[in-house]
Structure 1
Amino acid sequence: MSNTLEELIEHPVFYHFSKIAAIPRGSGNEKAISDYLVRFAQARRLEVIQDEALNVIIKKPATPGYEEIPTVIIQGHMDMVCEKNEGTIHNFESDPLQLRIIGDMLYATDTTLGADNGVAVAYALALLDAEEIPHPSLEVVITTEEETTMGGALAIDPSHFNGKILINIDSEEDHKLLVSGAGGIKITQTLPIVWEVAPTGVQAFKISIGGLKGGHSGISIDKGRGNSNKIMGRLLDDLSSKIPYYICQINGGSAVNAIPRETSATIFLHSDAHRNLEQTIAKWNRLLKNELQTSDPDVSITLENIKHDRSTVFSEDTMSKAIASLMLIPNGIQSMSMEIEGLVESSTNLGIVTTTDAEICFESDSRSSVKSLKDHIVNQSKLLADALGCQFETDCDYPEWPYNPHSAIRKVFEQVYKKKYGTDIEIIAVHAGIECGIFMDKIAGLDAISIGPDMYNVHTPDEHLSIPSTLNNWTYFLSVLEEMKDFSWGK
C-alpha cells in the first residue's frame, strides 16, 4: 500500500487521476478538462472527436490478435459535483483539488473528490496510454454535465460509434455488476415574491441548519438522512404558530442531485419575541437529535443576531406559500421495488432552494426505474405548484436503464470473475441515473454493463475512494478485456 501521494501516483491510474484532479471540472465548467482529453489523444496520435457539447470520443485500434473481437465502448463522465465544507476557501472554477491519503483511502481536502466520475476518466486514460494491455477495438467516450442535466450524453451523435458493447465505469461498488438504473427528471417550482415594507423596530436573525451528512440523492436516499430544506420548512411552520415574524430570504443546498446539508433563513421579529425564538430553536435541536440520532448525529440549528440593511420582507401570502412549498413538495422514497429486495423504485429530492429579488426557486431531482411512477411524481408536483400559484417546469429528462436478461457482456464479466475469485459476482440494480439508458436509447441493440471501485459519501466533502478497491477493479476490468478473445460472440 502506498503511504504517500507521491508513491500512489506512480501507478498509471492514480497518475492520471491526479492530473485531472488539478483541472476544475464542475458540471457546466468542462471546457478545460475536455480540451485536456483532446490534447491527450492528439499527443498519442489517436482518433479524437470533440462535439459541441464538449463530449470527447477517443478511438484506439485493437491490439494484435483482438481484431475480430466486437468493438467495446468505454464510457464515463468528466464532470463532478462541487461541494465543500462551510468556511472552506476553495474556488471550484479555478482551484485544483488538494488530494490526501488517510489509511487506504483517497480524499480531497474539505471538498468533493470527484472520484465520481474521475475514476472512469483515469481508467480510460491509463488504458489508452498503455501499449502492453491487450484489448479489442476501443471507443472511449467521456461525457459532460452528467451530474446536472445529462446534457452531454443526450447530445451524443450515435453515428460516431461502431460498438454494440458498452462498459460504463460509473458504479460505486467493487465486486458487483450493475445491470439496471433509474431514469430521472429535474422539477422546478418557482414562487413569485410579493415584497412588503419591513415593520419598524425589528431585529434580524439568521437561522442555519447544518451538520447533516447529505449524499447522492439516488444512492443515499434510502439512508434516512435529513434534508435541510425540508427541516427548515418544518421549523418555519412551527415558528409561525408561536410568534409573529417576517422572512426575507431562504437558501439551501448547492446541487439538485445532492441531499442538502445546509439551509439558512433570514427572519425579522420584534425584540419581545426573541426569547420565544430561542426556545423554539432549542426545542427543534432536541427533536432533530432524537429523530436523526442514527443517520445525522451532528445535526444542529444555530441562531445568529445579524445586522441588516433590508427594508422589505415577504408578504404574508408569499411567506405562507413558501413555507407550504417547503412542507409539501414531495421528498424522499416514494416507492420500493417489489422485484428486487431493498431497491428504491422511485424517489425525489428537494435539492436546492434559492431566493432572488423576484422569486423563490425550489428544485427537485426525481428518479424512478418505472417511467409511469416518475410521471406520477411530476404530476403530483405540478398540482401542488398550480395550487400555490407557482410556475412549474421540468427538464433534464432521461430514460431508465432496463435489465437485459440476455446480456452477453454480463456473461463475460461473470465468467471472468468466477475464474479470478472462485465465486459468483453479485448482480445489482441501482436507484441512480446511469448514462447507459441514454446510450441504449440512441444505439439500437446496445449491450451494457457498469462497474466501478468502492467509493463512499459521494457528492459530499467527505467523499473518499478505496485505493485497494480501485486497483482491484482495474485488474478485473483489464482481465475482462483480455479474455473477451476467448468468448464465443454469437458463434
Structure 2
Amino acid sequence: MSTLSSLHPQGLWQHFETMCSIPHPSKHEQAMIDWVMGLAAEHQLEHFQDEVGNVIIKKPATAGMEDRQGVILQAHLDMVPQANNDTQHDFTKDPIRPYIDGEWVTAEGTTLGADNGIGGSSILAILTSNDIPHGPIEALFTIDEEAGMTGAFGLQAGVLEGKLLINTDSEQEGEVYMGCAGGGDTNVSFPLEYQATQSNQLAIELSVKGLKGGHSGCDIDTGRSNANKLLVRLLAAMQQQGIEPIICEIQGGSLRNAIPREASCKLVFNAAKHAELEQVIEAQTLEIVDEFGLVETALSITSQQVATPETSLNTSLSQQIVASLNACTNGVVSMSQTVTGVVETSLNLGVISQTESTIDAKILVRSLIDSSRLQVEASLASLFSLTNAEISHTGAYPGWKPEANSVMKNVVQQSYQELFGKRPNVMVIHAGLECGLFKSAYPEWDMASFGPTIKFPHSPDEKVEIAAVEKYWQLLLSVLKNIPTK
C-alpha cells in the first residue's frame, strides 16, 4: 500500500496525509488548529485566530508580484464523521486511515475528509513553499462548516484586506462555481407518552441498512434512498394493513446534511398479526428493491424477534409519528428554472433520534431561492402542526448569487483554458458553501469556488480522484499567477 506522500503534488499530499492523522470532526478542530498555527509559526508567517476561532495566515507576495491584488484562499478545517456500521472508530481520537485504491484515494470504513482537506492541504502547500509565484495571500481556515457554519457566521468585517477569494470546497474538476444554495434547519420534537405493553404483544427490531448515503445537497438527485424514509414507509404500510405497530425505540441517520444510510425501530404488535406483519415486510422489501435496487445495490431490510419491553409509546402518538414522518416530503422539491439541470429546492430527513422524553427529527432544507426555502419550511410546519409535535426553524444561511461581471470567474476561465485547452463549466452548486455568508461581512468580495473531483462526500464511500487533484493544483497555481494588478 503506497503512502499518499508518494503522489504528486507531493507537498499537498504530505499535508493531507498529516491531516488524516489528526482527528478533526466538526466542533473538535482544536488539534487541527494547533497544527496549522504551528506550521505558520515554523515558516515565520503572520497568523492569528479571530473572535470565533477561525485561523488567518498572511503571506507576503513573492518577488515581482507585489503589485497584484490580494487573494484570500479559503477552506474549512472540520470534516464530516461517518463510519460504516461494522467499523469501530472514534472520530475525536482515532486517525483516518487513507489508502490508494487505483485512481482514487479513499479511507478504511470512514469518511476520508477530502471535503475540505484537499483544499486546506493545497493552501498549506502554497503557504509553506518557496518557489510558487503569487501576490499577497491571506489564508482563511474556518471552523465548524459541516455542522453549523459557525466560522463563516462569525467572520467579522475588517479582519481581512483582500477583495478576491478562492473557495476550495467544490467537488468536481472542470467546473467553477459562482453560486450556491442557502439552507436552514427544521427541528421537529414529539413529546413522549408511554403505556404498558400487553401480554398478547410481541416485539421485533426492524432495520434498514446498506444504503449508499452521501451529501444531502450534491447527491440529493442521484436516486439514492433515505433509510429514515424507508423505515417509516414500512411502519406506515403495517398501519394501513391494520397491524398497528407501536414504536418502542426508533433511530436513524446521524447528520442532517448526510443522506441516512441506516435506520432501525423496535416495535410491539399483536402476536396474532405476526404472519401478516412478516408478509407486509416481505412485500414492501420487494417493492423497495424494485424501485431502488439499481442504485442501492447493498440495500438490506431485516426483522428479528426481540424480548418484549415493559413499555411502548402511547398508541395514538406512535400512529401520529409514523403518519407525519411518512408524509414528510424528502428529496428534490423543484429544479431551477434559470440554471438548467440544477436542483433549486430540496430537503433531507437526516436524523431521527430518541431520548427518554422526546423523539426528534432533524431536517435540512436547501434552496437557491430564500422564498422557496421558506415555503417548504412553512409546509413542514403545517404538516407537523397536525400532531402534538413542537416545530422550530433555526440556522438559516443565505445562498450565494452569481455575479455577471466577476473578475475571479474570468481569471479562472482564462487559466483553465490556457492549461487544458477548454473552458470550465460555470456552475451553481446545490450545497451550502460558505461564500454566501461571507457576503454579509464582506459584500465587496469577488469569489469563485473550484476543487478536485470528490465522490460520495459525507459517506464512508468518500473518495478523491488522484488525477483531478493534480489538475486542481495546476489550476490553483495558474490562477494565482494570473491575478490582475491592483
Question: TM bucket by the smaller chain?
Answer: over 0.9
Contact kept, 8 Å, 1:9 with 1:15, in 2: the verdict is: no
1:288 maps to 288
Counterparts of residues 52-91 of structure 1 (less than 5 Å): 52-91=51-90
Worse-matched range after superposition: 395-404 or 295-304 = 295-304
TM-score (norm 2): 0.97
Q: Report what 1:240 is aligned to.
A: 239
Q: Are residue 255 (structure 1) and residue 255 (structure 2) matched?
A: yes
Alpha-carbon distance change, 475 to 6 in structure 1, aligned in 2, over 3 angstroms: closer
Q: Secondary structure at the match of 1:131?
A: coil
Separation of aligned partners in 2, 1:451 and 1:287: 40
Matches within 5 A, 1:8-19: 8=7, 11-19=10-18
SS of the equivalent of 2:247 reads strand
Distance in 2 (CA, whole Å) between partners of 1:139 and 1:396 is: 28
Q: Give distance in 2, aligned partners of 1:366 and 1:313.
A: 31
**Residues 5 and 17 of structure 2 are in contact (CA less than 8 Å); yes or no, is this contact kept in structure 1?**
no
Contact residue 345 and residue 370 of structure 1 kept, 8 A? yes
**Counterpart-to-counterpart distance in 1, 2:469 and 2:432:** 22
2:169 counterpart residue number: 170
* Seq. identity, %: 35
2:402 is the alignment partner of 1:399:
no
Decide whether the 8 Å contact of 2:235 with 2:245 is kept in 1.
no
Read off the aligned partner of 1:286 and give its amino acid letter: L
Larger displacement relative to structure 2 (350-359 or 204-213): 204-213
Instruction: Tell me if structure 2 keeps the 8 A contact 1:31–1:54.
Output: no
3-state SS, counterpart of residue 357 of structure 1:
coil
Residues 134/9 of structure 1: CA separation in 2 closer, same or farther (3 Å cut) = closer
Following TM superposition, by how much is the alpha carbon of 1:53 offset from its aligned partner in structure 2, in angstroms?
Answer: 3.0
CA deviation map 1:62-119 (0-9, x unaligned):
1111112111111111111111111111111100001111101001101000100101
After superposition, residues 305-320 of structure 1 pair within 5 angstroms as: 305-307=305-307, 310-320=309-319
Q: Is the 8 A contact 2:167 2:450 kept in 1?
A: yes
Alignment of 1:221 with 2:210, yes or no, is: no
Letter in 2 for 1:299: L
2:214 aligned with 1:207:
no
Q: Which moved more, 1:400-409 or 1:28-37?
A: 28-37
Count residues with an aligned counterpart.
Answer: 485
Shift of 1:201: 4.4
**1:136 matched residue in structure 2:** 135
Matches within 5 A, 1:367-406: 367-406=366-405
Per-residue CA deviations over 1:297-335 (Å, capped at 9, x if unaligned) read 322210122235x32111012101211221122211111
Q: Which moved more, 1:231-240 or 1:344-353?
A: 231-240
**C-alpha displacement at 1:3, in angstroms?**
5.0
2:8 and 2:470 in contact (8 A); partners too: no
Amino acid at match of 2:394: D
In structure 1, the residue matched to 2:35 is 36
Please show how residues 115-154 of structure 1 align to structure 2 within 5 Å: 115-154=114-153
Structure 1 gaps of 5+ residues are none
The question of 1:435 aligning with 2:405 is answered: no
Match of 2:431, SS state, is strand
- Cα shift at 1:10: 7.9
Q: Distance in 2 between matches of 1:460 and 1:434?
A: 18
Measured after TM superposition, the shift of residue 422 of structure 1 is: 1.8
CA contact (8 A) 1:250 1:354 kept: yes
1:246 partner letter: I
Runs of 4 or more above 4 Å deviation: none
Query: How many Å separate the matches in 2 of 1:53 and 1:266?
Result: 42
Q: Which amino acid aligns with 2:267?
A: I
Q: Aligned with 1:221: secondary structure? A: coil
Q: Map Cα deviations across residues 247-288 of structure 1 (whole Å, 9 max, x no partner).
A: 111100011001111110001234333222222211111011
Label 1:166 to 1:10 Cα distance change in 2 as closer, same or farther (>3 A): closer
Task: Assess, with a 3 A threshold, how the Cα gap between structure 1 residues 276 and 52 changes in structure 2: closer, same or farther.
Answer: farther
Partner SS state of residue 363, structure 1 = strand
Bigger shift: residues 200-209 or 158-167:
200-209
Which residue in 1 is equivalent to 2:470? 471
> d(CA) in 2 for partners of 1:9 and 1:341?
35
Which segment is superposed worse, 331-340 or 161-170? 331-340
Letter in 2 for 1:278: E
Distance, in Å, in 1 between the alignment partners of 2:373 and 2:258 is 18
User: Paired residue for 2:298?
Assistant: 298
Q: For residue 452 of structure 1, give the secondary structure of its aligned residue in structure 2.
A: coil
CA offset at residue 189 of structure 1?
0.8
SS of the aligned residue for 1:417 comes to helix
Once the two structures are superposed, residues 191-233 of structure 1 have per-residue CA deviations (whole angstroms, 9 ceiling, x without a partner) of 1111111212433211001121111010011112111111111
Verify the 8 A CA contact 2:209 2:300 in the aligned structure 1. Answer: yes
TM-fit CA distance, 1:426 = 1.2
Summarize deviations over 1:340-395 as a string: whole Å, max 9, x none. Answer: 11100011111000011101101011111111101111111112222212111122
CA displacement 1:127-161 (0-9 Å, x = unmatched): 11101111111111111111121111101112210
Query: What amino acid sits opposite 1:435 in the alignment?
Result: E
Q: SS at the partner of 2:12?
A: helix
Distance 2:38 2:19 in 1: 13
What SS does structure 1 have at the residue aligned with 2:158?
Answer: helix
